[in-house]
């Protein structure tokens, strides 16, 4: 997956300077938002999401969806990427809407009457809110690079480096495990049996644990479990553009609350 | 710096009855370059792990001592670096420079000193790319060179390499050996290298140490290898590849797989050997061209391509042996594995005996050693009595004794009238039993 | 019992999370897209998604394993492009805590079937509470529908995530792959 997402990576090269600096944040999607600190992005998305949870009013959800779509160019996410990641969301919202109209509760006000069915406010509100809540998450995570995330969590949220880097290292095995999963399924066919899902999952778990142990051994051999402070080779700055992201999140959250009371 | 001594050293892994190593004595002086050889299971990896201080006290039982620079190895870890066999499962970070920096970060080296050391290490191994290169986009040989860079960035006094070229094609192996030689020029270190195939490794070392009870199982230059090319003329074709397209390289393959013949498929990693093996094995759908079975192999099913056959029919005609035997294990005991295809108990017993697996009949397949697993995976492919066998890197990581056994077995199978397709970059295998060669290029 | 996590504990716990996140990724999008239509079915097999919360502690046997495995799986899901973005983190947290309590209740000394089932049930309870009370992904349901959903989820979690993880860990142990862990030492010496 890292191969799929890797694009141009920014960062000053050394080139004869007296002080050799390391790479700054990588730019997973190449946009302004991609270069912002991961914790800032998480915080902003979390604030917006939490605010949205307090209201079922369709207008509120629509506002947020509209604002995010309008700001899409700023995030550097191509609409195609958004579709690829988000289409299950639309399908799910449609499913929720259908269930609510056909079987759901019956006490919110009716907004419209279509083809003999009552379209109630809650049905619309639930479907739209589902989209509005998930959208910031998609946007944020499409622009977060795992290495940057680990660095940011360690630097700003005091997450234990052993756990963050350990998880990051395990993540590197994901494409390998995907390939092993494919081979395990093919191997079942070669044996003359159909691949039961549990059998394949079991084979994958064994392969995954084996690889994990080898990786852990290699990390230990490089001093990973040494007691004592650990430096981070990459810089993780939190500058005013990152603060801007948090402020934007706060602003949207406040707008949501205000709108909620305006329409109550 | 970097002198090594084993005094009556023994180690037993927790949960095992047998000792991995026992009563081992060895002395290596500072600056020596030593090749460590031995049969599979002789304890080479355990000895290296002991030198690296990786055998934790709670993970087993120790006898005797292992000393680095006069101190117990567990305490001397800061001056030791190790490179492992699997290139992809020892890289930690996504970017090449970050990975080399990883060891330095762990030691608390100040940030300002890290990057010059990283650049120096990358240059020392001749790494062809910059710091930002995605490690997933590297070939196996490049990944191993990166691992070596990571090891020498810490300027160790003791450098350990556990079969660093085992997973690589000959070109990658050569690049790694060159990188090691180059790196050692600048580093005043002792080196202990474990390798199975020795000819090329000998140039890097001052002496070779053979351990274990089976010195004849060790590859040595000039060892006599079985010469088992087909004596009889091959039979009729069983499988045909017609205009078969290999997606990654665009190469087109036109070949026939004949009964009583061993076809060796060679080429560098990335040239599509495994893809071809999967296609001939009827496991994946061709992107272009076709794989066709003859009536002799498939009877009325010959009209349909193998990837459309039902799994049970496929196994009875074309057996596949994967590079990693563990991918193919489905049951909980060796006997059940062999019985899976519906083979009768008598047939199962015969297979067990033929492949020296009878003592292991009730063992869990995952607990077998590498050589035993390889034999088991060949046995399971044989259980359905197919006429065609496709094997992907069958001699991978074998010591000489198990190698000889496997080669003799394969030759016998071929002489019985089966067709073998051997995907391999083992030149000795091809010389021993390869009747025809197909070379794939990148 | 040693409470400090070794490197191998951290990496293998994370790798279990990666393996499940990868498998879920392939299934999730399709399954969640059917949300609404397939609700009862989804509730009946809900336990599958909670296996990591119980399997983690069973394999690694260190405090925090349930939480760590679920959080890592959630972060990976989110980064890989889960359609649910941020909320999987909250779900993961709550589910992980449920699994965790199943073993914390006996001081992390017992890792048998009973603890596993309890851990699974608690994780399922947490998940049901989140789905019904906090998360926005379910349609508005009647009280009866909500109770049905909750019970299905909890039972499914107790059985699949609880007993299922226990059986899974024992099967893994028999392969010898867990020999570096206390959970593998139960195996008879080979």
CA–CA separation, B290 and B414 (whole Å): 25
C22 in contact with A at a CB cutoff of 8 Å? yes
Nearest CA in chain A to B93: A169
pLDDT digits (tens, 9 = 90+) for A146-193: 898 899 999 888 889 999 999 999 999 988 998 898 999 999 889 888
CA distance B349 to B239: 30
Greatest pairwise CA separation for chain B in angstroms:
73
**Mutation choice for B interface testing from A19, A161, A221 by most B CBs within 10 A:** A221
For residue A179 the two structure tokens come to 């390939």
Q: Which of the 8 DSSP states describes residue B300?
A: G
What is the pLDDT at residue B305?
92
B362 reaches C (C-beta below 8 A)? no
Tell me which chain B residue has its CA closest to the CA of residue C6.
Answer: B56
Cβ of residue C176 closer than 8 Å to a chain B Cβ: yes
Find chain C residues with C-beta within 8 A of A211's C-beta.
Answer: 15
pLDDT digits (tens, 9 = 90+) for A4-32: 222 222 223 323 323 334 444 444 445 77
Asked if B366 and C6 come within 8 Å (Cβ–Cβ), the reply is no
* Chains touching B, CB cut-off 8 Å, 3+ pairs: A, C
Instruction: Quote the pLDDT of residue B358.
Output: 86
> At how many degrees (to 10) do helices C47-60 and C65-80 cross?
130
Q: Which residues of A touch C76 (CB under 8 A)?
A: 171, 174
Contacts with C172 from chain A: Cβ below 8 Å: 202, 205-206, 209
CA dist C159 to B342, C58, C127, C154, C166, Å?
A: 33, 15, 15, 9, 10
Determine the pLDDT at residue C13. 97
Q: What number of CA atoms fall less than 13 Å from residue B426's CA on the CB side?
A: 25
Q: In angstroms, rounded to a whole number, what is the distance separating the alpha carbons of residues A34 and A8? A: 12
Instruction: Check C10 against A166: CB less than 8 A apart.
Output: yes
The confidence score (pLDDT) of residue A11 equals 28
- Tokens at C79, concatenated: 């980064």
Residues of C in contact with B365 (CB under 8 A): 175
Q: Residue B199: its pLDDT value, please?
A: 79
Q: Where are the beta strands (DSSP E) in B132-206?
A: 158-162, 190-194
Smallest Cβ–Cβ distance between B364 and the set C175, C180, C184 belongs to C175
- B353-388 burial, b at 16+ Cβ within 10 Å, e below that, comes to eebebeebeebbbbbbebbbbbbbbbbbbbbbebbb
* Per-residue model confidence (pLDDT) at position A1: 32
Subunit contact B364:C174, Cβ cutoff 8 A: yes
Contact list, B281 vs chain A (CB under 8 Å) = 190
Would the CB atoms of C190 and B332 count as touching at under 8 Å?
no
With residue B11 as reference, give the H or E element that holds it: strand B4-13
Q: Is residue C79 less than 8 Å (CB to CB) from chain B?
A: no
Instruction: Give the gap in angstroms from C-alpha A5 to the nearest C-alpha of chain B.
Output: 11
Q: Are C161 and C122 in contact (CB under 8 A)?
A: no
pLDDT at A120: 81
Give the closest-approach CA distance of B366 to chain A in angstroms: 9
Task: Tell me what pLDDT residue B194 has.
Answer: 92
The predicted model scores a pTM of 0.89
Q: What is the pLDDT of residue A264?
A: 67
Task: Tell me the pLDDT tens digit for each residue of B119-146.
Answer: 999 999 999 999 999 998 898 899 999 9
Q: Which residues, at least 6 apart from A16, have a Cβ–Cβ distance to it below 8 Å?
A: none
Which residues in chain C have Cβ-Cβ distances shorter than 8 Å to B367? 175-176, 190
Q: What is the DSSP string of C56-95?
A: HHHHH-STTHHHHHHHHHHHHHHHHT-TTTTHHHHHHHHH
Tell me which residue of B260, B210, B240, B262 sits closest to B400, measured CA to CA.
Answer: B210
* Whether the Cβ atoms of residue A41 and residue A143 lie closer than 8 Å to each other: yes
Range A35-54 average pLDDT:
85
Q: Quick check: C110 contacting B, CB < 8 Å?
A: no
Res C29: pLDDT: 67
Q: How far apart are CA B64 and CA A150, in angstroms?
A: 42
Q: In what order do the strands lie in the sheet with B419-423?
A: B318-321, B388-392, B419-423, B262-266, B436-439
**Measured between beta carbons, which residues in chain B are less than 8 angstroms from residue A210?**
326
Whether A134 and C83 lie within 8 Å, measured CB to CB: yes
Q: Does B14 touch chain C (CB under 8 A)?
A: yes
Residue with tokens 């997933």: B136
Helix A79-103 / helix A121-142 crossing angle, nearest 10 deg: 160
Can you tell me the ipTM of this complex? 0.91
Decide if pLDDT at A202 tops 70.
yes
pLDDT at A18: 32
Cα–Cα distance list, C118 to B5, C59, C99 (Å): 52, 16, 8
CA distance B173 to B390: 25
Q: What angle do CA B143, B99, A139 make, to 5 degrees?
A: 105
Using a CB-CB cut-off of 8 Å, the residues of chain B touching A13 are: 130-131
- Partners of B13 on chain C (C-beta within 8 Å) are 179
Predicted confidence pLDDT, tens digits, chain B (442 residues): 679 999 999 999 887 788 889 999 999 999 999 999 988 778 898 999 999 999 988 888 999 999 999 999 999 898 999 999 999 999 999 999 999 999 999 999 999 999 999 999 999 999 999 999 999 889 889 999 999 999 999 999 999 999 999 888 888 899 999 999 998 888 889 999 998 878 778 889 999 999 887 777 888 877 888 888 888 889 899 999 999 999 888 889 999 999 999 999 998 888 889 999 999 999 999 998 999 999 888 888 888 999 999 988 999 999 999 989 999 998 889 999 998 877 788 888 988 888 888 888 888 999 888 888 888 999 999 888 899 999 999 988 788 888 888 899 999 999 999 999 999 988 889 999 999 999 998 7
Distance from CA of C118 to the nearest CA of A (A): 22
Task: For residues B104 and B115, give the distance between their C-alpha atoms in angstroms, rounded to a whole number.
Answer: 9
Q: Which one of B17, B56, B364 has the shortest CB-CB distance to C176?
A: B364
The residue length of chain A stands at 264
CB contact under 8 Å between A46 and C86, yes or no, is yes
DSSP state of B233: P
CB within 8 Å: A216 and C22: no
Q: What's chain A's average pLDDT?
A: 79
Contact: C32, A92; criterion CB under 8 Å: yes
Q: Which residues of A fall within a CB distance of 8 Å from B122?
A: none
Query: Which residue is closest to B331 within chain A, CA to CA?
Result: A199
Q: Give strand pairing partners of B342.
A: none
Taking only the tens place, the pLDDT of each residue in B86-118 is 999 999 999 999 999 999 999 999 999 999 999
Q: What is the residue-level pLDDT of chain C in tens, covering all 190 positions? A: 578 899 999 999 999 999 998 888 777 766 766 766 667 777 888 899 899 999 999 999 999 999 999 999 998 888 777 767 778 888 899 999 999 999 999 888 889 999 999 999 999 999 999 888 877 777 777 888 889 999 999 999 999 999 999 999 999 998 989 988 988 876 655 5
Q: What is the pLDDT of residue A116?
A: 77
Taking a contact as any Cβ pair under 8 Å apart, which residues of chain A between 236 and 255 contact chain C?
none
Residue B216: DSSP 8-state: G
Q: What is the pLDDT of residue A169?
A: 94
The answer to whether the Cβ–Cβ distance between B97 and A22 falls below 8 Å is yes
Q: Is C177 on the interface with B (CB under 8 A)?
A: yes
- Residue C188: what pLDDT? 57
Q: What share of chain A has pLDDT > 70, as a percent?
A: 87
Alpha-carbon distance B182 to B106, whole Å? 25
C-alpha to C-alpha distance for B301 and B349, rounded to whole angstroms: 31
């Amino acid at each position: 997956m890292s191969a799929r997402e890797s694009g141009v990576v920014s960062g000053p090269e050394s080139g004869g300077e007296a002080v050799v600096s390391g790479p700054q944040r990588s730019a997973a999607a190449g946009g302004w938002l991609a270069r912002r600190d991961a914790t800032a992005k998480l915080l902003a998305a979390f604030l917006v999401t939490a605010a949205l949870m307090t209201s079922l009013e369709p207008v509120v959800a629509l506002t947020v969806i509209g604002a995010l779509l309008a700001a899409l160019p700023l995030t550097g996410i191509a609409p195609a990427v958004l579709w690829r990641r988000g289409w299950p969301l639309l399908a799910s919202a449609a499913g929720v809407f259908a269930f609510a109209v056909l079987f759901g509760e019956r006490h919110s006000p009716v907004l419209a009457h279509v083809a003999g069915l009552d379209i109630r406010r809650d049905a619309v509100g639930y479907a739209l809110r589902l989209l509005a809540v998930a959208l910031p998450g998609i946007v944020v995570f499409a622009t977060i690079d795992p290495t940057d995330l680990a660095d940011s969590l360690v630097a700003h949220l005091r997450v234990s480096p052993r756990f963050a880097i350990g998880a990051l290292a395990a993540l590197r095995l994901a494409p390998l495990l995907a390939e092993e999963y494919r081979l395990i399924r093919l191997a079942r066919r070669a044996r003359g049996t159909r691949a039961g899902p549990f059998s394949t999952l079991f084979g994958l778990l064994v392969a995954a644990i084996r690889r994990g142990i080898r990786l852990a051994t290699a990390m230990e051999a490089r001093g990973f479990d040494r007691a004592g402070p650990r430096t981070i080779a990459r810089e993780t700055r939190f500058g005013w553009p990152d603060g801007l992201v948090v402020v934007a999140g706060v602003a949207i959250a406040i707008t949501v609350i205000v709108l909620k009371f305006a329409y109550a | 710096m970097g002198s090594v001594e084993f005094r009556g050293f023994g180690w037993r892994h927790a949960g095992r009855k047998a000792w991995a190593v026992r009563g081992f004595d060895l002395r290596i002086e500072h600056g020596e370059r030593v090749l460590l050889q031995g049969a599979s299971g002789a304890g080479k990896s355990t000895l290296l792990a002991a030198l690296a201080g990786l055998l934790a006290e709670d993970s087993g039982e120790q006898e005797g001592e292992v000393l680095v620079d006069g101190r117990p190895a567990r305490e001397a870890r800061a001056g030791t670096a190790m490179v492992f066999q699997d290139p992809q499962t020892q890289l930690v970070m996504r970017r090449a420079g970050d990975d080399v920096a990883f060891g330095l970060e762990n030691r608390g080296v100040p940030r300002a000193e890290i990057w010059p050391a990283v650049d120096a290490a990358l240059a020392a191994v001749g790494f062809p790319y910059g710091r930002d290169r995605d490690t997933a986009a590297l070939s196996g040989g490049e990944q191993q060179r990166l691992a070596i860079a990571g090891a020498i960035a810490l300027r160790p006094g003791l450098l350990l390499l556990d079969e660093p070229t085992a997973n690589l094609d000959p070109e990658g192996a050569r690049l790694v050996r060159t990188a090691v030689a180059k790196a050692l020029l600048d580093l005043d270190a002792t080196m202990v290298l474990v390798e199975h195939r020795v000819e090329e490794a000998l140039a890097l070392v001052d002496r070779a140490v053979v351990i274990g009870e089976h010195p004849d199982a060790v590859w040595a230059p000039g060892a006599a290898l079985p010469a088992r090319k087909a004596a009889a003329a091959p039979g009729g074709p069983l499988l045909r590849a017609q205009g078969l397209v290999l997606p990654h390289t665009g190469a087109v393959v036109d070949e026939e797989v004949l009964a009583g013949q061993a076809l060796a498929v060679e080429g560098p990693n990335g040239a599509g050997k495994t893809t071809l093996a999967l296609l001939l094995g009827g496991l994946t759908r061709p992107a272009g061209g076709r794989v066709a079975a003859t009536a002799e192999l498939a009877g009325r099913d010959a009209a349909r391509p193998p990837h459309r056959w039902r799994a049970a029919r496929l196994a009875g005609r074309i057996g596949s042996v994967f590079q990693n035997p563990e991918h193919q294990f489905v049951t909980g005991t060796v006997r059940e594995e062999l019985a899976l295809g519906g083979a009768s108990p008598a047939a199962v017993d015969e297979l067990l005996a033929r492949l020296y697996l009878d003592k292991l009949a009730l063992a869990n397949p995952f607990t077998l050693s590498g050589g035993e697993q390889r034999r088991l995976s060949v046995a399971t492919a044989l259980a359905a009595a197919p006429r065609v066998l496709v094997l992907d890197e069958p001699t991978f990581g074998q010591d000489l004794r198990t190698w000889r056994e496997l080669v003799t077995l394969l030759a016998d199978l071929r002489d019985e009238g089966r067709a073998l397709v051997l995907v391999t970059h083992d030149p000795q295998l091809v010389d021993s039993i390869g009747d025809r060669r197909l070379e794939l290029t990148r | 019992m040693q409470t400090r996590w070794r490197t191998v504990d951290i990496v293998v716990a994370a790798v279990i999370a990666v393996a499940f996140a990868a498998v879920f990724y392939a299934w999730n999008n399709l399954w969640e897209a059917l949300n609404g239509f397939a609700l009862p079915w989804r509730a009946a097999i809900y336990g599958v998604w909670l296996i990591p919360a119980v399997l983690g502690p069973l394999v690694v046997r260190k405090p925090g394993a349930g939480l760590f495995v679920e959080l890592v799986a959630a972060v990976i899901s989110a980064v890989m492009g889960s359609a649910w973005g941020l909320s999987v983190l909250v779900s993961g947290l709550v589910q992980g805590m449920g699994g965790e309590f199943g073993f914390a209740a006996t001081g992390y000394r017992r890792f048998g079937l009973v603890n596993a089932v309890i851990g699974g049930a608690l994780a399922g309870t947490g998940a049901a509470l989140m789905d019904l009370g906090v998360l926005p992904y379910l349609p508005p349901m009647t009280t009866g529908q909500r109770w049905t959903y909750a019970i299905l989820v909890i039972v499914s979690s107790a059985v699949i995530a609880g007993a299922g993880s226990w059986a899974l860990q024992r099967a893994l142990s028999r392969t010898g792959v867990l020999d570096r862990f206390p959970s593998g030492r139960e195996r008879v010496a080979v």
